Structure 1
Amino acid sequence: MWRRLNSLQGRLTLLLLMAGAAGALIYAGVTQWPLPQLLSWLRKDLSVSIRSPMQLGIYGGMLASVIVLLPLAFWLAGLAMAPVSRLLRALEGAVASYRDGDFSFSIAVHRRDELGELIRMHNALGQTLREQRQHLVQRELLLDTVVQNTPVALVLTDAIGRVAYANIASRHLFNEGRSLVGLDFSELLADSPEALRKAVESGEDALLSVEMDGSEETFHLSQRAFRLQGRPHRLQLFRRMTRELSRQEVATWKRVIRVISHELNNSLAPISSLAHSGAELARRGDTDRLPGVFATIGERARHLHGFIAGYASFAKLPSPQLVEVAWAPFLEGLALHCQYRLASDVPTRPGRFDAAQIEQVLINLIKNAHEAEGVDDEVTLSILEAGSEWRIEVADRGPGMSEAVLAQALLPFYSTKRSGTGLGLALAREITEAHGGRVLLANREGGGLQVSLRLPQVVPR
């Protein structure tokens, strides 16, 4: 009960009861006692001509009561609204502080009613906003430190091409270490190498090499457009790839040397041993066994020649000669070199590619599928139209590949076979990308591997 009376509603109720009681008392005082008796005494003893409110009727009494009650009502209203007015002024100051980014404003609490609860909630909100802003400032500081010190040159431009943000690497790349903010980025690019300028103007991602400071630098350019605070912006990232590509090149050469050394040793060691054995047989006059020795030496030499020729063909792969190719005769010719089951209808629309190169790719893929312990009927070939590209899929029911092998299977010289050169899938990737397509590897549900060639589809005119 006391809690209800101590609430804002309870206090207003008491004030209204007081106002009602005061009004009744004032009306009784004006119409009954003591005002009528006072006016009667003034008329009789002082001969003052004053009319009694009762002589004016009930309306006169009410008017006199209102005149007396009005100041009292204003005083009670001020008393009731004083805490609300103080709270509203305090909240107005708090909102102004929040608008200016100052969340340190708090209001003293001296009440236990609804207004006090509102003040406590406001103070809790201010504390939460202060903590969130502090965390946000710390994250922004961390992010700015990372972005400023990254070796990737970052340039953010607005809708009219002026630099809105640039890190340290971009300042050194474009303006000799000076600030770029507010400058026209196109003017900065005017002094840059032409290849870099054209790559930025294209609006696309690119890998390019430019001449800088007397040496060749390789950059990877990444560009993205987005809206920041409702306004269009463009972000350009310039990553120096020279060192990374050099490390990759060295690693590739080391891998090539290991593969070639292994294969040369596998062939030269038996050739050397057989040559020594042949010399011994010839010295002892045992010529009957010499033809077998020479045949084995010739076989190993032919294998070594084929191995070297495979590497040479990969290094000297010619550009594809794109012509229209009808699928039916192309598949008939492919069936003469390898066995497969066609798992799709033969497309009626011709493709446009280098028939010899794509045929060689499919022969290698189908051969790999058979070597993966796939049953002949389970090695399938599908040719499908998917939007603006052809999907040529070779699938088997072998053991498939692990995630680690899938990630590296398309790299040159990578092989899981003891006698493999690691060129089959790499050659397929090289030829497909030269056609403007791509190669995808995926394990099949139920076991097996699916190799998918995605070639761009050109509609004949």
Structure 2
Amino acid sequence: MGDRNEEAGERPAPPQAARRPFRLSLLTRWSAMVGTLLTVGILIALALGHYFPGQPLLVLGVCLLCVVPLSVITIRSQLKPVMSLYRALAGTVTSYRDGDFSFSLHWPYDDELRELVAAHNALGEVLREQRLNLVQRELLLDTMVQNTPVAMLLVADAGPIVYANVAARHMLNAGRKLEGHRLADLLERSQAPLRDAVARGGDGLFTIGDGEDEEVFHLARRRFHLNGRRHELLLLRQLTLELRRQEVQTWKKVIRVISHELNNSLAPLTSLAHSGAELVRRGQTGRLPQILATIEERTRHLESFILGYARFAKLPAPRLQPHLWPGFVAHLAGQVTFQLAGTLPAGPAAFDAAQLEQALLNLLKNAHESGSPPGAVTLEIRQAQDMARIEVRDRGPGMSDTVLANALVPFYSTKRSGTGLGLALAREIAEAHGGRITLANRDGGGLAVTLLLPAEHAKDMT
């Protein structure tokens, strides 16, 4: 900082208890100095008037020659530490602007400038603490980002990569730095599934490799503005281990449910077949029709059970076509009982009629099986902005928090004879249409199941 440290140095302030003379304000000091100079000038003029009477010009000239240099020397000596303090203040402000908060100032006089210096030092201390905390947080964040297994890429709108963590470097450039490279150039050297996933836009899953070497990744993308420029954050997460663990758990649950259902059906069939054979051996055929009818009923139940699983596993992509709600609801009312609430939308909606009918049949059947009075099972269809809102309501006991959290999971059921596929199939159908399903308990008891389907496709088809 140079000469600004002559009297107002950039060093830690001494303790407040050390060397605290009585307070002398700037106004008092300067008033005293001016008064002293005036007094000296008057005394000099009186003395010269005594020795050189009748010569006022000579007296004035000699007074000026004496008082003016003395005043200049005195004022400069008083202003020198103040000017040094101003230069020090300007220097520390420049340092603060450059991000250096390590300076502090010292003012030896107990006046108003001492308060200014104390406030300035307090500001520097606050800035130092904030800077230290910010550096610590940045260090922690960088450590977390660099050590996360999720590959992270920050790409500027023009194309170059602004930031990449260690996982991204290993995935795309053999561990070498990616900053400054263009994403398009790196994708040209990467595998085709990754290029296709990025080119599609949006979030999604993609698979690299085949057979035992197959790896599943999830791509997430978020766009935002940074420093006035558009940026995109790409997150690549490997899901192979998680999906394999989930797949194993799902297969175990499927096998357990199917095994349970098969045992419940085959054990009675075996017993009935043995009883029928024993009756034939004894010549007592009167009960055979009843036994055969029971065998047929259990066989049909088993057949419907297997078909339900097959239908869930082989759900085709929906064929979206425009349909009017009155005709669709009338066909649905011919298969299950419900009360229609409100007025049906007048405009068409695009959906797969067969799949949506299957989903609503499952929901209405669940509503009747909940213990709700038949007249309290209602269906309401409304048009809300660009979404078709389909709501099935009942007045049963509703669901507990645990059941609500797992009701949409495949194979989860609280019924002894349930397959756990009704709500799961409805969810699959809703999501295949680009919508979603929600469940909520109603005030006063009962459950409300809501299907939200996008309705803008119907506008494109009409």
Q: In 1, Cα distance between the equivalents of 2:390 and 2:355? A: 14
- CA-to-aligned-CA distance 1:251-307 (integer Å, 9 cap, x gap): 111111111011111112222233333344444444333433333222222211111
Amino acid at match of 2:403: V
- Residue 16 of structure 1, aligned match among 31, 48, 59: 31
Do the aligned partners of residues 218 and 29 (structure 1) sit closer, same or farther apart at CA in structure 2, a change above 3 Å counting? same
Q: Identity across aligned pairs (percent)?
A: 55
User: What is aligned with 2:55?
Assistant: 52
User: What is aligned with 2:10?
Assistant: none
Correspondences of 1:152-231 after superposition (within 5 Å): 152-211=150-209, 215-231=213-229
Q: CA RMSD in A?
A: 2.6
Do the aligned partners of residues 371 and 212 (structure 1) sit closer, same or farther apart at CA in structure 2, a change above 3 Å counting? closer
Do the aligned partners of residues 117 and 274 (structure 1) sit closer, same or farther apart at CA in structure 2, a change above 3 Å counting? same
Correspondences of 1:19-418 after superposition (within 5 Å): 19-27=34-42, 29-30=44-45, 33-40=46-53, 52-53=55-56, 56=57, 65-108=63-106, 110-211=108-209, 215-418=213-416
Distance apart, 1:15 and its partner CA: 3.0
Q: In 1, Cα distance between the equivalents of 2:207 and 2:59? A: 102
The DSSP-based 3-state class of the residue aligned with 1:164 is strand
Do the aligned partners of residues 160 and 266 (structure 1) sit closer, same or farther apart at CA in structure 2, a change above 3 Å counting? same
Q: In 2, Cα distance between the equivalents of 1:375 and 1:295? A: 32
**Residue pair 1:15, 1:76 contacting (<8 A) in 2 also:** no
The DSSP-based 3-state class of the residue aligned with 2:209 is strand
Q: In 1, Cα distance between the equivalents of 2:393 and 2:427? A: 17
Distance apart, 1:90 and its partner CA: 2.4
Question: Is there any run of 5+ residues in structure 1 with no aligned partner, and where?
Answer: 41-50
The DSSP-based 3-state class of the residue aligned with 2:196 is helix
**Residue pair 1:327, 1:348 contacting (<8 A) in 2 also:** yes
The DSSP-based 3-state class of the residue aligned with 1:69 is helix
Amino acid at match of 1:288: G
Distance apart, 1:151 and its partner CA: 1.1
- Residue 455 of structure 1, aligned match among 441, 448, 453: 453
**Residue pair 1:441, 1:452 contacting (<8 A) in 2 also:** yes
Amino acid at match of 1:52: Q
Distance apart, 1:316 and its partner CA: 2.4
Q: In 2, Cα distance between the equivalents of 1:183 and 1:127? A: 41
Q: In 1, Cα distance between the equivalents of 2:24 and 2:93? A: 24
**Residue pair 1:444, 1:450 contacting (<8 A) in 2 also:** yes
**Residue pair 1:147, 1:167 contacting (<8 A) in 2 also:** yes
Q: In 1, Cα distance between the equivalents of 2:165 and 2:315? A: 42
The DSSP-based 3-state class of the residue aligned with 2:124 is helix
Q: In 2, Cα distance between the equivalents of 1:212 and 1:294? A: 50
Amino acid at match of 2:93: V
User: What is aligned with 1:45?
Assistant: none
Q: In 2, Cα distance between the equivalents of 1:63 and 1:349? A: 106
Q: In 2, Cα distance between the equivalents of 1:162 and 1:278? A: 79
The DSSP-based 3-state class of the residue aligned with 1:34 is helix
The DSSP-based 3-state class of the residue aligned with 2:418 is coil
Larger Rg: 1
The DSSP-based 3-state class of the residue aligned with 1:129 is helix
**Residue pair 2:440, 2:448 contacting (<8 A) in 1 also:** yes
**Residue pair 2:219, 2:234 contacting (<8 A) in 1 also:** yes
**Residue pair 1:223, 1:234 contacting (<8 A) in 2 also:** yes
**Residue pair 2:380, 2:392 contacting (<8 A) in 1 also:** yes
Distance apart, 1:70 and its partner CA: 2.7
The DSSP-based 3-state class of the residue aligned with 2:222 is strand
**Residue pair 2:155, 2:161 contacting (<8 A) in 1 also:** yes
- CA-to-aligned-CA distance 1:295-354 (integer Å, 9 cap, x gap): 322222221111111112222223333333222222122111111111121222122222
Q: In 2, Cα distance between the equivalents of 1:233 and 1:345? A: 46
Deviates more, 1:70-79 or 1:158-167: 70-79
Q: In 2, Cα distance between the equivalents of 1:242 and 1:304? A: 35
Do the aligned partners of residues 290 and 454 (structure 1) sit closer, same or farther apart at CA in structure 2, a change above 3 Å counting? same
Amino acid at match of 1:424: G
Q: In 2, Cα distance between the equivalents of 1:270 and 1:35? A: 140
Deviates more, 1:121-130 or 1:330-339: 121-130
Amino acid at match of 1:425: L
Q: In 2, Cα distance between the equivalents of 1:253 and 1:332? A: 39
**Residue pair 1:415, 1:422 contacting (<8 A) in 2 also:** yes
Q: In 1, Cα distance between the equivalents of 2:192 and 2:185? A: 13
- CA-to-aligned-CA distance 1:176-221 (integer Å, 9 cap, x gap): 1111111111100011223322332343112222338993322211
Amino acid at match of 1:261: S
The size of the alignment, in residue pairs, is 440
Distance apart, 1:92 and its partner CA: 2.5
Q: In 2, Cα distance between the equivalents of 1:214 and 1:358? A: 38
Q: In 1, Cα distance between the equivalents of 2:327 and 2:362? A: 19
Distance apart, 1:410 and its partner CA: 1.7
Do the aligned partners of residues 113 and 27 (structure 1) sit closer, same or farther apart at CA in structure 2, a change above 3 Å counting? closer
Q: In 2, Cα distance between the equivalents of 1:225 and 1:66? A: 76
The DSSP-based 3-state class of the residue aligned with 1:180 is coil
The DSSP-based 3-state class of the residue aligned with 1:236 is strand
